[in-house]
């Protein structure tokens, strides 16, 4: 077996003399963690560059050698079909926004090209990082999520008071905090589904609990309902003993958290918020902007483009992920985005529904497609599908010490690798393509 075939058989990653996967460098690992950990840190206005974007660019520069070798997934990879469909969707966005930007002489229309291009790049690069360094990289994502939730909690605690309303943390508005909490809930549940070690599962459940708390203090009705749906879908896979252990931890920490919770009236505020569902001014089809589809049906063919909403007598975008795609990018955009999700669904029906049904439930009343964490969820999902196909979906948590800084969370158990029938099949496919 030559070196080229060996690398192809294992997702393109390099293997050392002991036939173990090579670890990412220290700075590459730290930049990967930082780009996720700083998600909740908003310094500039929404829609502008944030610290997490800067860390992602640094991450890409450090990861450039691997990206030059492989960018899009190989033809035999699970992500190949979904990624192609996503690329076609991005191309439709580019064409529609460029045409409207030129005809309307509007630079605003062009910035949405940058949004979708950046997020598609985020999807591709994070997927490539995970499948290159496999479960090691997946654990770096896991650590980044834990740190991100911790940072968001810090922002909430610093801003929380007896007269505070909906919390924003370090975000610019409470809906961003609620959406971030929802995505983290689903990502932690996905990680929990592939955890084998007890402490890893406990940390995942602790992350879920913290993320749910962020949703509660954000008082986002859509995030509250969607998170409840997500927990229901994942409930059968949660082990009873893990919940019991987490309950003990909650009892231990409750004396420290209870004063803040009581002071902020979180429970009463959440109850009142839930009771207001359907009664607020924007809890309607017109309030969410769906009436634009009825008023401008001709836009469904080629799309209306994003931006310059005064054309439709409005100041803001349509508050719907799918509705916005259908209205702004027409038949072609909706078709490719649907195809992208359909191919993801075929990769792992149960896991896809469990993760993305809640996210799209939230998307019925909010447009969340521009948030990079949304695309991170797809990257993690596709990477987990790939790792599970290779029977490497399990990961563990190591002790956090300076001597293990490079391996904050080891990617996999140290074991000698022996190629199986699947690997020889992959090598055969690779040799066929190469010839």
**203 — pLDDT class (breaks 50, 70, 90):** confident
User: If you average pLDDT over each of 121-130, 135-144, 383-392, which comes out highest?
Assistant: 121-130
3-state SS assignment for residue 15: strand
- Please tell me the distance from the alpha carbon of residue 417 to that of residue 195, in angstroms, as a whole number: 21
**C-alpha span between 435 and 433 (Å, rounded):** 5
CB-based contact 145:34 (threshold 8 Å): no
Specify the range with the lowest mean pLDDT, choosing from 25-29, 46-50, 105-109, 250-254. 250-254
Whether this model's pTM surpasses 0.85: no
Closest CA to 318 of 289, 344, 294: 289
Name the burial class of residue 365, with classes exposed (0-12), middle (13-18) and buried (19+) by CB atoms within 10 angstroms of its CB.
buried
Q: Are 400 and 147 in contact (CB under 8 A)?
A: no
Higher pLDDT, 133 or 279: 133
The answer to whether 307 touches 106, Cβ cutoff 8 Å, is yes
Structure tokens, 377 = 């969820």
Measured between alpha carbons, how far is residue 5 from residues 133, 135, 264, 390 in Å?
Answer: 17, 21, 59, 16
Tokens of 291: 């009436």
Q: What is the mean pLDDT of the chain?
A: 80
Q: Are the CB atoms for 146 and 126 separated by under 8 Å?
A: no
pLDDT of residue 191: 85
The two three-digit tokens of residue 11, written as one number:
């997702």
* Selection from 423, 409, 329, 424 nearest residue 146 by Cα: 409
CA end-to-end distance (rounded Å), the chain: 16
Q: Decide if 322 contacts 361 (C-beta within 8 A).
A: no
Query: How large is the C-alpha radius of gyration of the chain?
Result: 22
| Torsion sign across C-alpha atoms 265, 268, 271, 272 | negative
pLDDT given at position 41: 94
pLDDT for res 416:
40
Which H, E and C letters describe 314-372, residue by residue?
Answer: CCCCCCCHHHHHHHHHHHHHHHHHHHHHHHHHHHCHHHHHHHHHHHHHHCCCCCCCCCH
pLDDT digits (tens, 9 = 90+) for 392-432: 544 444 433 334 444 444 343 444 434 444 343 444 444 44
Q: Which residue did the predictor score with more confidence, 389 or 146? A: 146
Residue 88's SS3 state is helix
What pLDDT digit, counting tens, does each position of 374-396 carry? 999 999 999 999 988 876 544 44
DSSP 281: T
List, for residues 213-243, the tens digit of each pLDDT value.
999 888 888 899 999 999 888 888 777 777 7
Burial class from Cβ neighbours inside 10 Å (0-12, 13-18, 19+) for residue 175 reads buried
Q: How far apart are CA 111 and CA 125, in angstroms?
A: 21
Is the pLDDT assigned to residue 333 strictly greater than 60? yes
């Amino acid at each position: 077996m030559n070196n080229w075939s060996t690398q192809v058989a294992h997702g393109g990653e390099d293997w050392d003399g002991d036939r173990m996967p090579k670890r990412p460098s220290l700075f590459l690992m730290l930049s990967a963690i930082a780009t996720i950990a700083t998600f909740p840190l908003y310094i500039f206005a929404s829609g502008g560059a944030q610290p997490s974007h800067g860390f992602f660019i640094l991450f890409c520069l450090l990861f450039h050698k691997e990206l030059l070798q492989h960018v899009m997934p190989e033809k035999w990879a699970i992500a190949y079909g979904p990624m192609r469909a996503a690329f076609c969707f991005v191309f439709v966005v580019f064409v529609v926004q460029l045409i409207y930007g030129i005809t309307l002489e509007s630079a605003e229309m062009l910035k949405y090209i940058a949004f979708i291009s950046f997020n598609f790049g985020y999807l591709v690069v994070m997927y490539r990082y995970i499948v290159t360094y496999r479960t090691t990289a997946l654990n770096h994502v896991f650590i980044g999520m834990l740190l991100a939730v911790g940072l968001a909690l810090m922002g909430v605690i610093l801003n929380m008071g007896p007269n505070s309303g909906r919390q924003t943390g370090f975000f610019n508005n409470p809906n961003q905090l609620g959406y971030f909490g929802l995505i983290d809930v689903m990502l932690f549940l996905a990680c929990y589904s592939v955890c084998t070690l007890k402490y890893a599962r406990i940390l995942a459940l602790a992350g879920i609990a913290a993320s749910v708390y962020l949703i509660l203090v954000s008082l986002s009705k859509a995030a509250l309902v969607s998170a409840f749906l997500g927990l229901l879908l994942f409930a059968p896979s949660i082990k009873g003993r893990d919940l019991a252990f987490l309950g003990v931890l909650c009892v231990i920490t409750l004396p420290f958290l209870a004063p803040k919770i009581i002071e902020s009236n979180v429970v009463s505020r959440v109850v009142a918020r839930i009771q207001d569902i359907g009664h607020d001014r924007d809890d309607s089809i017109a309030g969410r902007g769906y009436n634009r589809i009825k008023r401008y049906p001709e836009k469904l063919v080629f799309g209306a483009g994003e931006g310059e909403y005064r054309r439709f007598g409005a100041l803001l975008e349509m508050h719907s992920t799918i509705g916005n795609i259908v209205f702004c990018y027409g038949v072609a955009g909706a078709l490719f985005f649907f195809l992208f999700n359909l191919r993801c669904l075929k990769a792992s029906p149960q896991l896809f529904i469990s993760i993305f049904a809640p996210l799209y439930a939230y998307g019925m009343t909010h447009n969340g497609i521009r948030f990079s964490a949304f695309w991170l969820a797809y990257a993690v999902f596709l990477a987990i599908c790939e790792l599970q196909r290779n029977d490497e979906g399990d990961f563990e948590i190591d002790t956090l010490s300076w001597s293990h800084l490079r391996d904050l969370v080891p990617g996999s158990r140290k074991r000698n690798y022996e190629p199986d029938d699947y690997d020889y099949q992959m090598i055969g496919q690779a040799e066929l393509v190469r010839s």
